[in-house]
Structure 1
């Protein structure tokens, strides 16, 4: 037994060192730095007391919630359809839908600029048709499209995996008992997909809350929490404010994943 315990201890030692060096110590340093400014621990309340920080928090939460909702709706419809209907090119379509997973946030931001920027495709078409150029890449609308672009692949893979395990006979039984298509969806299909939807929705929300690359690329008229932290750190040289906001951002992400894990009864981990 002693030899076994020593062996297990040796196996766990590298993991313990990694956790201590790359998670515990940096987190402690970040928390201490957040309270090292003139405001002390009160800096952690600046997310609610400072108007710019509060507005950035509200904008971030609303944007992330909207992205999550739309991604869940689109991915559920498309994911279930692709699982239930096999046709020539379906695998290619799945590959294309999940292709954005290979793109970093900066590249996605650049794609949005090419679509809806000053020299973008939508601007050129709208100018030809109406005489005025439609530009929205550098706004919350552009950021919404960017976040949605990289969120759908994350959600659709989870939905498809869950849909493949569904018992189609339950839906057939519901129809045979006179249930309408809508009742079948709300009473049979969605409850069966619920754990997967909660898990993928939590990942989508957490990723959107903390996403930086896309916001940085499009940040002309955008003020989300990740950009506020960047501004405090680089332009304001306010390490305490940036650190306190980073801790709050991390707590929001952790809370979203913890709530989803308790609701879905499955393991939920952030991605991206």
Structure 2
């Protein structure tokens, strides 16, 4: 393809990328240094105890969410890909339905499940137990993030499981491998690029999720909520911008590491 034609085809994408990503990020970067602290605002996320605690809480929730999502999605994804049964299509559709829900709706669903008037509490009180309320804790936030992350992860796992060669598993069994050894030595290595890619997307999404945190994080501080507070309550726009840019850098780093480790393209989450 001639160089000029190549550049003309690339131009629309380059303009779109510049207008909706590079320029806003550059503007955000300089706004973050426009406050009283100047460029030191970017160090506040590790030097200020409150910001640092919020960062670690955010990373911990994202890590737990990623592990739980990958575990659930791997088991369900491989099973659904390899078994055909009545109602399978409806089940897959139901498991991917949360893709259509905004984070706030997911948060309300967790409240209806584990809140003060939640279904879990009703069941416990029905049998004379104490009503558990964990919708507004880290457990509730993780539950919301897992629910939100499973659909996109399970679709990736199902696509990867479709490409696994069953003859490798048969060969492993013929040499005396146990079911666990087949999973460990054949299935998981085959799913490795998909697991890394899906895990990175899950982690990055959980790090920056706001809607679910806005609904549930009334007793805990995660970085998206801290940024919202700095911007709306304290009118500290410079610090909010610095924290936002830092949070975006963390999410980008997770995707970059996954791209390198998996050896395949990591698509951005919707």
TM, length-normalised to structure 2: 0.96
64, 67, 77: which is aligned to 2:65?
Answer: 67
155, 161, 165: which is aligned to 1:167?
Answer: 165
Equivalent-residue separation in structure 2 for 1:268 and 1:213 (angstroms): 24
Could you tell me which residue of structure 2 aligns to residue 251 of structure 1? Answer: 249
Deviation at 1:183, TM superposition (A): 1.0
* 2:63 partner SS: helix
Checking the alignment, whether the CA contact within 8 Å between 1:116 and 1:142 is kept in structure 2 is: yes
Could you tell me which residue of structure 1 aligns to residue 32 of structure 2? Answer: 34
5 Å-filtered alignment, 1:82-93, equals 82-93=80-91
Seen in structure 2, the aligned counterparts of structure 1 residues 130 and 52 have a Cα distance that, compared at 3 Å, is farther
Deviation at 1:7, TM superposition (A): 4.8
Equivalent-residue separation in structure 1 for 2:238 and 2:117 (angstroms): 39
5 Å-filtered alignment, 1:40-189, equals 40-130=38-128, 132-189=130-187
Deviation per CA, 1:91-114, whole angstroms, max 9, x where unpaired?
A: 111111111111010110010111
Q: Which runs of 5+ in 1 are unaligned?
A: none
Checking the alignment, whether the CA contact within 8 Å between 1:127 and 1:134 is kept in structure 2 is: no
218, 223, 234: which is aligned to 1:225?
Answer: 223
Q: Which runs of 5+ in 2 are unaligned?
A: none
Deviation per CA, 1:119-165, whole angstroms, max 9, x where unpaired?
A: 11112222222353221111111111000001111111111000011
167, 178, 202: which is aligned to 1:204?
Answer: 202
TM, length-normalised to structure 1: 0.95
Equivalent-residue separation in structure 2 for 1:83 and 1:75 (angstroms): 12
Seen in structure 2, the aligned counterparts of structure 1 residues 181 and 46 have a Cα distance that, compared at 3 Å, is same
* 2:127 partner SS: helix
Could you tell me which residue of structure 2 aligns to residue 19 of structure 1? Answer: 17
Moved more, 130-139 or 87-96: 130-139
258, 261, 264: which is aligned to 2:262?
Answer: 264
Deviation at 1:15, TM superposition (A): 2.8
Equivalent-residue separation in structure 1 for 2:158 and 2:3 (angstroms): 42
Deviation at 1:11, TM superposition (A): 3.9
Deviation per CA, 1:5-57, whole angstroms, max 9, x where unpaired?
A: 55554444333332222212111110001111111111101111111111111
* 1:130 partner SS: coil
Equivalent-residue separation in structure 2 for 1:174 and 1:34 (angstroms): 56
Seen in structure 2, the aligned counterparts of structure 1 residues 175 and 32 have a Cα distance that, compared at 3 Å, is same
* 2:93 partner SS: helix
2:192 matches 1:194 = yes
Checking the alignment, whether the CA contact within 8 Å between 1:207 and 1:270 is kept in structure 2 is: no
Seen in structure 2, the aligned counterparts of structure 1 residues 85 and 36 have a Cα distance that, compared at 3 Å, is same
